[in-house]
Chain A
């Protein structure tokens, strides 16, 4: 009885195993990226990424406060002015040091705002402002208008680039949390999640890279490039239609498996014999046959199957067109060219038959007259 209960609880055990497996996988995944995450945190929390620059600023401050003040009192030798300037020269490095520390501090934020042209422009503007401040501190006068315009133009170019990259990468970033959820569900045995993930992937792909492959090409290799792009697009479409089909097959297989299990449980036999095995085999294949028969009748499955088949045919069509193009170079007739001949042949066959019939009728009339 206990054994039966254990066997009946097989699916719960399987579910538990999957959960444990997923948790362990997620844990090890996180551990793999932990050093990078920690480094990012370090950069966020620290005012400077390295202790040495902060130390250098402090040291410089200390020198200014002690030797610098004393140098101002000097009467002989290089003189107070020169000595003060020598000691004050370290300020240049302090200014540069602080400038770069601020820049580096903003890097994690810049990474997070990848693709967000407005946010990343804010950061770049801050950098430009700080640069101008540093320039003024060192040179004693502000940055010229020309230089300012140059900087602004450069920042505009960078922003445009960011915006363009954003179009490509933002949808992927936005879809990532959903994929993580779907991956979690899939690890627990939910194949619908796999199909949904695949559909989402295709949606995002169509919105981003798919557009690149669909856009018109330019130049001497326009036709070949477009042909190649369309072939690749057809491949992606076909490949991404398959998970939707597989999920039906998998689901039905699992349901049939459960039914077989339940039927076998109800078999009353004292011991396992070859005849019992045959009976189990018969239960297995008939249950599966019935389950898949019902699946094959369902509109959802038929729609998925038709979709996969149609995408496959379109891919073949593209591959054939691609191959035909290469066949031209090798002087091998393509299917299209041969089809033109076949069409003419069939037309000729029909005409010959009509004429044969006309001849026979005339012959008949001659014989009868």
Chain B
């Protein structure tokens, strides 16, 4: 004889049992995991200036592109997203295509870096990295790829120093900041960034994190974790999740003055697109970008909406503009399975085609260098490498 609701109760109890079992599995995995490592592709520190470091990735395949590619990531969050783990690493995929990759790591600004300006980041740190690579490789021009805010920096740099850049790749790069498709664009217009910087000095990474979480509060603060429990059986999936978590909440502080200028000039005044932005006393004219441009954007990007990235193609003077979109989100661009298969080949093919046969030796690589001696980080994980440095 069945009592009323007996069948339903049994169903719900089974579900609770299943959920509890998953929670146990997750707990076991978490207890066994001390730390997860990101950015494990072997690389060498070749140049350093203050908190900024320039890394050279060790090639995994025979070189297919004679011109190296310098990747500039954003100041917000870490560049480790591009080399999250084996199987989800844009860097590894590009290395597997035979590209010669350098990457700028901006580091963790402290109070000492409070007065590092946007001009310093672009005119000083970025330029010094480009100069280093040019001298080391004996090349007149190099390839440059900018990602997110790093893409904006790279766009500005390329407009100021077009003679040093052979090909330019902009990936999920905000150019038009006055589009209302992104909440960040709307919020920043109401922010009193001067008061913020005057009060806080450097903008805390936690503050930035909070802002990003508030873009999709229910998904990012709740549903994501429920989804994690659903995938508890797969230890690899749990570890992947932990790596993403580590990356998301690994937010450096933002150097105050650089943040002030970036928000005031780009977000509030939209100076870049208007041609009114000045860096190092010079106006940034996007028409000076006369080299091939590959503009990649994510169709479902809630951080940098397509309407913010797409205009770059029409603002430059070069005729060789390739615009490519992927049906993914901002983070999905680096870690989704679709982008793993298509993004790296797209970039590699494009850049190799435009780099082969164009290398012109500039000067003999200088014997003496005023740069800091490189420290080998072969075979070390990112955290071990940091300790060594």
* A338 contact set on B, CB distance < 8 A: 111
* B183 contact set on A, CB distance < 8 A: 293, 296-297
Question: If the complex has contacts A335-B201, A353-B124, are A302 and B187 also in contact, measured as CB distance less than 8 A?
Answer: yes
CB pair B116–A296 under 8 Å, yes or no, is no
* A273 contact set on B, CB distance < 8 A: 8, 11
Report the Cα distance A322→B192, complex, angstroms. 22
* B12-29 interface (Cβ within 8 A of A): 12, 14-15
A153 within 8 A of B: no
CB pair A306–B191 under 8 Å, yes or no, is yes
B30 within 8 A of A: no
Question: If the complex has contacts A292-B218, A342-B115, are A313 and B196 also in contact, measured as CB distance less than 8 A?
Answer: yes
Q: Which residue of B lies closest to A274 (CB)?
A: B15
* A258-292 interface (Cβ within 8 A of B): 271-274, 277, 281, 285-286, 288-289, 292
* B14 contact set on A, CB distance < 8 A: 274
CB pair B192–A306 under 8 Å, yes or no, is yes
Report the Cα distance A349→B14, complex, angstroms. 65
Q: Which residue of A lies closest to B7 (CB)?
A: A271
A314 within 8 A of B: yes
CB pair A303–B222 under 8 Å, yes or no, is no
Question: If the complex has contacts A274-B11, A285-B219, are A349 and B200 also in contact, measured as CB distance less than 8 A?
Answer: no
Report the Cα distance A303→B191, complex, angstroms. 9
Which of A271, A288, A335, A356 sits near B218, CB closer than 8 Å? A288
Tell me how far the C-beta of A271 lies from the nearest C-beta in chain B, rounded to whole angstroms.
Answer: 6
Report the Cα distance A338→B110, complex, angstroms. 11
* A350 contact set on B, CB distance < 8 A: 120, 124
* B192 contact set on A, CB distance < 8 A: 306, 309-310, 313
CB pair A316–B11 under 8 Å, yes or no, is no
Report the Cα distance A62→B325, complex, angstroms. 110
Q: Which residue of A lies closest to B114 (CB)?
A: A342
CB pair B124–A359 under 8 Å, yes or no, is no
Report the Cα distance A289→B201, complex, angstroms. 33
* A271 contact set on B, CB distance < 8 A: 8
CB pair B115–A343 under 8 Å, yes or no, is yes
Which of A289, A309, A316, A343 sits near B219, CB closer than 8 Å? A289
B6 within 8 A of A: no
Interface residues of B: mostly helix, strand, loop or mixed? helix
A320 within 8 A of B: yes
A72 within 8 A of B: no
Report the Cα distance A143→B243, complex, angstroms. 94
CB pair A292–B186 under 8 Å, yes or no, is no
Residue pairs across A and B with CB atoms within 8 Å: the count is 99
A45 within 8 A of B: no
* A360 contact set on B, CB distance < 8 A: 366, 370
A51 within 8 A of B: no
B373 within 8 A of A: no
B2 within 8 A of A: no
* A342 contact set on B, CB distance < 8 A: 111-115
Q: Which residue of B lies closest to A271 (CB)?
A: B8
A369 within 8 A of B: no
Question: If the complex has contacts A274-B11, A350-B120, are A363 and B368 also in contact, measured as CB distance less than 8 A?
Answer: yes
B87 within 8 A of A: no
Report the Cα distance A320→B201, complex, angstroms. 12
* B114 contact set on A, CB distance < 8 A: 339, 342-343, 346
* B196 contact set on A, CB distance < 8 A: 309, 313
Report the Cα distance A346→B109, complex, angstroms. 12
Tell me how far the C-beta of B362 lies from the nearest C-beta in chain A, rounded to whole angstroms.
Answer: 11
CB pair A346–B218 under 8 Å, yes or no, is no
CB pair A359–B200 under 8 Å, yes or no, is no
B217 within 8 A of A: yes
Report the Cα distance A343→B256, complex, angstroms. 11
Please, what's the 1-or-0 string for B128-139, where 1 marks a CB less than 8 Å from any CB in chain A?
A: 100000000000
Question: If the complex has contacts A273-B11, A346-B120, A360-B370, are A310 and B195 also in contact, measured as CB distance less than 8 A?
Answer: yes
Question: If the complex has contacts A271-B8, A316-B200, are A289 and B111 also in contact, measured as CB distance less than 8 A?
Answer: no
Which of A272, A286, A303, A349 sits near B190, CB closer than 8 Å? A303
Please, what's the 1-or-0 string for A305-321, where 1 marks a CB less than 8 Å from any CB in chain B?
A: 11001100110110010
B163 within 8 A of A: no
CB pair B222–A314 under 8 Å, yes or no, is no
CB pair B120–A302 under 8 Å, yes or no, is no
Tell me how far the C-beta of A274 lies from the nearest C-beta in chain B, rounded to whole angstroms.
Answer: 4
Tell me how far the C-beta of B367 lies from the nearest C-beta in chain A, rounded to whole angstroms.
Answer: 9
Tell me how far the C-beta of A238 lies from the nearest C-beta in chain B, rounded to whole angstroms.
Answer: 12
CB pair A285–B223 under 8 Å, yes or no, is yes
Tell me how far the C-beta of B16 lies from the nearest C-beta in chain A, rounded to whole angstroms.
Answer: 9
CB pair B115–A297 under 8 Å, yes or no, is no
A345 within 8 A of B: yes
Tell me how far the C-beta of A282 lies from the nearest C-beta in chain B, rounded to whole angstroms.
Answer: 8
Report the Cα distance A338→B202, complex, angstroms. 13
A residues contacting B by CB (< 8 A) are 271-274, 277, 281, 285-286, 288-289, 292-293, 296-297, 302-303, 305-306, 309-310, 313-314, 316-317, 320, 335, 338-339, 341-343, 345-346, 349-350, 353, 356, 359-360, 363-364, 367
Query: Could you jot down 11 A-B contacts, CB within 8 Å?
Result: A281-B226, A285-B219, A289-B219, A292-B218, A296-B215, A297-B180, A313-B196, A313-B200, A335-B201, A342-B113, A346-B113
B residues contacting A by CB (< 8 A) are 8, 11-12, 14-15, 49-50, 111-116, 120, 124, 128, 180, 183, 186-187, 189-192, 195-196, 198-201, 214-219, 222-223, 226, 363, 366, 368, 370
6 tightest Cβ-Cβ pairs between the two chains A and B: A274-B15, A306-B190, A346-B115, A285-B218, A313-B199, A289-B218
